[in-house]
Amino acid sequence: MSELRFLGGKGGVGKTTLAAAIGLREARRGLRTLVVSTDPAHSLGDVLGTGLGEEPREVVPGLWAAEISGRGQARRRVEQIVADAADAVPREVLPAVRAHLERAVDSPGTVEAALLDRLTELVERVPADFDRLVVDSAPTGHMLRLLTLPELVTPWIEGLAGQRRRSRDTDRMFAGMLGRGEETPDPLLARLHARRDRMAALHRRLRTDAEVNLVVVPERVVWAETVRALDVLGGAGIAAGAAVVNRVVPAGETGLLGARRVAQTEVLDAVRARFGATVEVPLLPEGPTGPDALGTVIDILVDAGW
């Protein structure tokens, strides 16, 4: 299993249950495992049967879990920026700066960037603090955006750093003309370089240490979205592992379930042909809740060789 594993797919296909089951499976193998949810509509705590927050907490021996929020991270960043600005801007201007930044928290771009920063922090803790990181991702579009952002953000940050360097060069030129040649550190340029390096490192790890398992229910609309996701992942150089086909109606059913099984067959054939390796989870009476109930799903994963 890869050090970093993402469970992705259309909303409602069962990503959270499978992420929790995979996390428990790894923990029972003796690996320090962290399962995190990046979905704004968190349900990881519900599946594990416990309350979760931003910081990882140990749910059972060897398994930690957290529900991370881009909005919460953005708010903490605003507080940090305001604190830094207190020494750099006039006191009377500070309330306007705070108000502007607080409005920016509601911007999708701000939330995405903050969520990416938080995910980066957790990735950097593998393997020092955790052997495995399992991510219960938001629905497909959000997950793909999050996974491809590091590659997109890195050159943008480098562009900002270049502008800052040119500005510093101009300042030094005028300082020399005025006889003030003393060089002073530039904390903004240092931060830009640090952020660029972190994004570049995350991009490399996503290409070398990460694997995405797309979760599918055997329906045509869901499969069509999955195929598009595969194309995006391939273009980004991120590995797509075995597909997990959830809620498969067992063979031999009759009546309504039998008719549904017939409808599923075409999609099942397409998934097997495209992926080769698949894990098929049968339709269960209800979604398992709590570590003990997740044992059923874990047994299925083990039988499939996970």
Q: What is the pLDDT of residues 149-199, one digit of tens each?
A: 888 888 877 787 777 777 766 656 655 555 555 566 677 678 778 888 999
pLDDT of 172 reads: 62
CATH code at position 82: 3.40.50.300
Backbone angles phi, psi at 60, to 5 degrees: -135, 165
Give the structural domain span for 112: 4-152+210-249+276-303
Name which of 149, 67, 72 is nearest 111 in CA terms: 72
- Token reading at 48: 């594990």
- In a domain, residue 229? The reply is yes
- In a domain, residue 87? The reply is yes
- In a domain, residue 103? The reply is yes
**4 contacts 133 by C-beta, under 8 angstroms:** yes
- In a domain, residue 180? The reply is no
Number of domains composing the chain:
1
- In a domain, residue 62? The reply is yes
- In a domain, residue 284? The reply is yes
Mean pLDDT of residues grouped by 10 in the chain (306 residues)? 92 96 96 95 95 96 94 74 67 75 71 88 96 96 90 79 72 57 67 86 95 96 96 94 95 92 94 92 91 94 89
> Pairing mode, if any, of strands 63-67 and 57-60?
antiparallel
> What dihedral do alpha carbons 286, 5, 191, 170 form, nearest 10°?
-110
Which tens digit of pLDDT belongs to each residue from 84-122?
Answer: 666 656 777 778 777 777 776 776 677 888 889 899 999
- In a domain, residue 262? The reply is no
- In a domain, residue 219? The reply is yes
